Structure 1
């Protein structure tokens, strides 16, 4: 099962050139870029580790790609994503988020549905053994 989180998650992985094009779009919108990584891609894991600080004053996509490459070198078997934040309202709102690195072997996840009282259905996701 391929992990699908964020924008573009149902498309094939973006090339570095395509990532640069997305970063340039974000910078034209004056959005800050943040790089995050995790070993736990569970859909409810919203707290990924930050790689460095968000890049609020950056004007060039090359700086973002330098951080992405450094994060890939340090964590090659992790999920790495870019988040673009709009801070024009005085707080950061995620405007775009997409995965830029995946481990060579993705974990297998199994979803189980359990029916309860009054036709309530509960779902759980566990790592396959």
Structure 2
């Protein structure tokens, strides 16, 4: 039998929920977050920031923070917008998407800030 770890997760336990690949890993520090944003920019993807309440995070609808940052290549500007969204909605999860113009989908998606889990 496989030795792959089973991650206990349930709808009734907000703290157990996983959102994307990175949520199964230890939390990223500031340097690692910067590297992920640099990767998104290097691919030519458009950064987009979304947020939602922890109890609604498993749904497909997250609130958009402003418009996607079309053509933005300044990593510090993207980090500043992530921080501004988190400051405006401290109880919410905040995620960053890298929108791929050619594939018409999100090439990257990661939760940068986790809101207070009730």
Q: Name the larger-Rg structure.
A: 1
Corresponding position: 1:103 with 2:118: no
C-alpha contact 1:7 1:96 (8 A) present in aligned 2: no
Corresponding position: 1:9 with 2:31: no
The two structures, once aligned, show a CA RMSD in angstroms of: 1.4
- Say which structure is richer in helix: 2
Q: 1:42 to 1:28 in 2, by over 3 A?
A: closer
Q: Which runs of 5+ in 2 are unaligned?
A: 1-14
Aligned to 2:56: 41
Deviation string, structure 1 residues 46-104 (Cα, Å, up to 9, x no partner): 11000011011111111110100101110111111011111025xx3111111011123
Aligned to 1:60: 74
Count of matched residue pairs: 103
> TM-score, normalised on structure 1?
0.74
- Say which structure is richer in strand: 1
C-alpha contact 1:35 1:81 (8 A) present in aligned 2: yes
Aligned to 1:110: none
Cα offset, 1:42, TM superposition: 4.2
C-alpha contact 1:3 1:41 (8 A) present in aligned 2: no
Counterpart Cα distance in 2 of 1:36 and 1:42 = 11
> TM-score, normalised on structure 2?
0.80
Cα offset, 1:11, TM superposition: 1.1
Aligned to 1:94: 106
Aligned to 1:70: 84
4+ long deviations beyond 4 Å: none
Counterpart Cα distance in 2 of 1:2 and 1:34 = 25
